[in-house]
C-alpha cells in the first residue's frame, strides 16, 4: 500500500489523527484512509489520535459511532485515549468563530440550499469543497435588512467573508503537501483563496461547521501531520486561510488517493454493500480488504 512519507520528519513530536463522521457506516474507502493514517503514525513513531466529527447532530447517530470504533479495532488500529468528540466542545467552536465575527469577517446568510443551487446554476459558478460556490447574496444585504431578519428569528448559517478575510492574510500563503496521490504536486503549494468562496462557519442551528471545527481541533490537538483523502484537497486551501486568521501553525498535509467503485465514483456511506460491517458479516477479513484496496489503487494507476 502506498504510504505518505515525510523525509525530513523527526520521530518525536509527530501527531496525526483519523477523524471520521458518524453519519453512516464506514466503507472500504474509510478502511484505506484509516490504514494510511495509522501506518504513517507507526512509521514515524507518531501519536495517533481518533476524533469523532459529530457536529452535525441531524445526521450523526450513536449506532454509527459504535460501529466505527468496532470496525477500526477489527482493522487492527489502536489510538491514544481519550477519543475527542466534537459534540462535546460546541461552545468552544462558537468562541473561535466569534473572534472572526468581532473582526467583521463573517455574515449571516439566510439562503436555502435550493436558492443557492439555482443562483449558482444561473451564474455558472465553479464548484468548491462544499458544492457550487456561494454567490454572495446575503453579503450584499443592508445592515438594516440583516438586523430585521435576525430579529425575526429567520434561520441562518454564518459565513466567512472571504474577500475581507484575504485582506488579513498574506497573498503567498502556502501549505506543505507530502501526499501519496500521484496526481498532486508535492512540496510547498500556493493556496488558491478563491477556491472555496464564502464557506459556512456555523450551520443552521449549530455553533460550528466541518471547516471550523476541523481547523480548531487540529490546532488544539497539536496535529503536525494531517493525513486524509484527496477529496478534501480543496478544503485544505480554505483551512490554511482559517489557520492564518486564527494565528494557528500549519500542519503538513498528506493527501492520499481515494478509492472508487465500479462506476468510478467515490464510495458512499449510502452504499451499504460496501460497508465494513457488511463485508465482515460476509466473512471477509482485513487481509481480504487490503487486497481489494491494492487492486482498486492499481486500477487507478496509483
Candidate list 14, 16, 21, 146; residue touching ligand GLU; CB under 6 A: 21
Question: Is 94 an interacting residue with respect to ligand GLU (CB under 6 A)?
Answer: no
- Cell numbers placing 188: 510547498
By beta-carbon proximity to ligand GLU, the closer residue of 53 and 71 is 53
**Site residues (CB under 6 A) for ligand GLU, limited to 103-162:** none
Q: Closest separation between CB of residue 203 and ligand GLU, Å? A: 14
Candidate list 20, 29, 179, 251; residue touching ligand GLU; CB under 6 A: 20
By beta-carbon proximity to ligand GLU, the closer residue of 20 and 193 is 20
Question: Going residue by residue from 42 to 71, which x/- string records binding to ligand GLU, judged by CB under 6 A?
Answer: -----------x------------------
Candidate list 232, 260, 278, 292; residue touching ligand GLU; CB under 6 A: 232
Q: Closest separation between CB of residue 143 and ligand GLU, Å? A: 35
Q: Closest separation between CB of residue 19 and ligand GLU, Å? A: 4
Beta sheet of 157-160, edge-to-edge order: 106-109, 157-160, 200-202
By beta-carbon proximity to ligand GLU, the closer residue of 107 and 253 is 253
By beta-carbon proximity to ligand GLU, the closer residue of 27 and 228 is 228
Binding window for ligand GLU (CB under 6 A); candidates: 14-22, 112-120, 121-129, 183-191? 14-22
**Site residues (CB under 6 A) for ligand GLU, limited to 200-219:** 214
What does the DSSP assignment read for the chain?
------TT--STT-EEEE---SSS--BHHHHHHHHHHHHHHHHTT-EEEEEE----TTT--HHHHHHHHHHHHHTT---EEEEEEGGGGHHHHHHHHHHHHHTT-EEEE---HHHHHHHHHHTTPPEETTEEPP--GGGGS-HHHHHHHHHTT---EEEE-HHHHHTTS-TT-EEEE----TTSPPEEEE--GGGT-S-EEE-TTSS--HHHHHHHHHHHTT-SEEEEEGGGHHHHHHHHHHHHHHTPPPPEEEEE---B-TTSPBP-TT-GGGBHHHHHHTT--HHHHHHHHHHHHHHTT-
Binding window for ligand GLU (CB under 6 A); candidates: 16-24, 42-50, 169-177, 186-194? 16-24
How many residues of this chain interact with ligand GLU, rule: CB under 6 A? 7
Q: How far apart are CA 219 and CA 244, in angstroms?
A: 11
Candidate list 15, 19, 111, 297; residue touching ligand GLU; CB under 6 A: 19
Name beta bridge partners: 198: none
Candidate list 27, 228, 252, 256; residue touching ligand GLU; CB under 6 A: 228
- Binding residues (CB under 6 A) for ligand GLU: these are 19-21, 53, 214, 228, 232
Amino acid at each position: 500500500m502506498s504510504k505518505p512519507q515525510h523525509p525530513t520528519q523527526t520521530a518525536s513530536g509527530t501527531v496525526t489523527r483519523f477523524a471520521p463522521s458518524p453519519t453512516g457506516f464506514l466503507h472500504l474507502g474509510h478502511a484505506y484512509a484509516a490504514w494510511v493514517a495509522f501506518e504513517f503514525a507507526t512509521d514515524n513513531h507518531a501519536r495517533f489520535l481518533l476524533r469523532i466529527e459529530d457536529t452535525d447532530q441531524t445526521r450523526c447517530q450513536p449506532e454509527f459511532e459504535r460501529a466505527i470504533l468496532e470496525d477500526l479495532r477489527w482493522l487492527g488500529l489502536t489510538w491514544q485515549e481519550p477519543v475527542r468528540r466534537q459534540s462535546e466542545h460546541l461552545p468552544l467552536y462558537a468562541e473561535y468563530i466569534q473572534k472572526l465575527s468581532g473582526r467583521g469577517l463573517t455574515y449571516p446568510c439566510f439562503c436555502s440550499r435550493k436558492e443557492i443551487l439555482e443562483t449558482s446554476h444561473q451564474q455558472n459558478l465553479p464548484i468548491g469543497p462544499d458544492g457550487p460556490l456561494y454567490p454572495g447574496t446575503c453579503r450584499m444585504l443592508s445592515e438594516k435588512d440583516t438586523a430585521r431578519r435576525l430579529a425575526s428569528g429567520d434561520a441562518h448559517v454564518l459565513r466567512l467573508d472571504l474577500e475581507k478575510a484575504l485582506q488579513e492574510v498574506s497573498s503567498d500563503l502556502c501549505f506543505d503537501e507530502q501526499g501519496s496521490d500521484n496526481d498532486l504536486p508535492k512540496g510547498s503549494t500556493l493556496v488558491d483563496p478563491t477556491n472555496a468562496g464564502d464557506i459556512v462557519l456555523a450551520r443552521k442551528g449549530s455553533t460550528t461547521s466541518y471547516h471550523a471545527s476541523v481547523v480548531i481541533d487540529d490546532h488544539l490537538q497539536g496535529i503536525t501531520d494531517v493525513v486524509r483523502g484527496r477529496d478534501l484537497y480543496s478544503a485544505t486551501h480554505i483551512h490554511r486561510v482559517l489557520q492564518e486568521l486564527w494565528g494557528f501553525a500549519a500542519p503538513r498535509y498528506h493527501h492520499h488517493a481515494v478509492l472508487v467503485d465500479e462506476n468510478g465514483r467515490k464510495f458512499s456511506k449510502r452504499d451499504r454493500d460496501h460497508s465494513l460491517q457488511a463485508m465482515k458479516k460476509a466473512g471477509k477479513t482485513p487481509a481480504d480488504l487490503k487486497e481489494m484496496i491494492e487492486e482498486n489503487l492499481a486500477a487507478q494507476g496509483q
